[in-house]
A and B are shown apart, each in its own frame.
Chain A
């Protein structure tokens, strides 16, 4: 689904992928950035590159991209989503918890949408340029769904949401 001729390599801080950083000495085997890029190609972080590529490609989606009159994805929301998913992964990774790559799409209102499923549970996150809201789905009953605003300021919120999905 990428729309780029050149692959997008996110230049995130090395501590975001601490284990990889520690395992890649700088002088004998190239620079840290080169090693990170190599690891991106072969490691489980390949998903991150794919997600970022998908989000970048979303910037080219026109209005009515789905033939249901949806707005074009908001570019500021896309930038927020790229930043958010890196932070989310960093927090989960540092906690040594299992990570699941999200499904990435957009809403009719130009929000970026991340979705994760685990058995009967599902999390949907709607990302705008200003905020993030969530829906927790636990089975088919609408009454059992829970929604709210996700506060990105407190790292505990990421873990609480993730542990709910995996529990």
Chain B
């Protein structure tokens, strides 16, 4: 995947609201908008969706945010000392992972695999920050 590829992520408006307007009126995306049980948050490759972000909605009321592959690849997660004799630094990547019903599907993965949840929690904060920096590509329907 090229560094300049745009990625779409569906953001829910309903249960567990994945965005929020703070007390200063600023749009914030919660880090939990990038939850993934396997710690590989899903995105869609824009060009494989014909640059039509609405195709990436998981439900009709969802909004869409865009991320850039290079922004994610630029990130190096700090050294994890939790495995005392084997400190690890994670490098993030985005790789295609086609699904039967979605050729555009890709996942954000670390190299090496996370040894625990701690580093992934930081990554979710970073992804939420990037989403907030770009704002909505498609606004959700309240």
Contact at B15–A147, with CB atoms within 8 Å? no
- What 1/0 mask marks residues of chain B from 54 to 78 whose CB sits below 8 Å from any chain A CB? 0000100000000000000001111
Q: How far is the CB of A91 from chain B (nearest CB, A)?
A: 20
A124 touches B31 (CB 8 A): yes
CA distance A13 to B120 in the complex (A): 38
Q: With a CB–CB cut-off of 8 A, which chain A residues contact B26?
A: 117
Nearest residue in A to B38 (C-beta to C-beta)? A69
Distance between B104 CB and nearest chain A CB, rounded to angstroms: 17
Q: A126 contacts which chain B residues (CB < 8 A)? A: 121
Residue A132 CB within 8 A of the other chain: no
Cβ of A142 and Cβ of B38 under 8 Å apart? Answer: no
| 129-167 of chain A: CB within 8 A of chain B | 135, 137, 139-140, 142-143, 145, 147
Which residues from B are CB-within-8-Å of A71?
Answer: 37
Query: With the chains together, A52 CA to B124 CA distance in Å?
Result: 25
Nearest Cβ distance between residue A66 and chain B, in whole angstroms? Answer: 6
Asked whether any CB of chain B lies closer than 8 Å to the CB of A113, the reply is yes
Stretch at the interface among A23-31, A35-43, A103-111: A103-111
The residue in chain A whose Cβ has the minimal distance to the Cβ of B133 is A140
Known: A68-B42, A69-B38, A140-B129. A105 touches B121 (CB 8 A): no
Q: How far in angstroms is the closest Cβ of chain A from B86?
A: 19
Interface positions of A from 1 to 35, Cβ below 8 Å from B:
1
Q: Is A65 in the interface zone, CB < 8 Å from B?
A: yes
Cβ of B47 under 8 Å from chain A: no
Q: Which residues on the A side are within 8 Å of B37 (C-beta)?
A: 68-71, 108
Are B129 and A61 touching (Cβ within 8 A)?
no
Q: Could you tell me if B20 and A103 are in contact, using CB atoms closer than 8 angstroms?
A: yes
A96 at the interface (CB under 8 A from B): no
Q: Among residues 44 to 69 in chain A, which have CB atoms less than 8 Å away from a CB atom of chain B?
A: 61, 65-69
Decide yes or no whether B142 CB sits under 8 A from chain A.
no
Contacts of A135 in B (CB 8 A): 31, 121-122, 125
**Distance between A3 CB and nearest chain B CB, rounded to angstroms:** 10
A49 to chain B: closest CB distance in Å? 17
The answer to whether the Cβ of A100 comes within 8 Å of any Cβ in the partner chain is yes
Query: A67-B58, A122-B28, A137-B129 given. 11 additional CB < 8 A pairs?
Result: A68-B37, A69-B36, A70-B37, A106-B16, A107-B35, A115-B20, A139-B129, A142-B123, A142-B126, A147-B118, A147-B122
Q: Mind listing 10 A-B residue pairs with CB under 8 Å?
A: A70-B35, A103-B28, A108-B37, A115-B28, A135-B121, A137-B129, A140-B129, A142-B75, A142-B78, A143-B78
Interface positions of A (Cβ within 8 A of B) = 1, 61, 65-71, 100, 103, 105-109, 113, 115, 117-119, 122, 124, 126, 135, 137, 139-140, 142-143, 145, 147
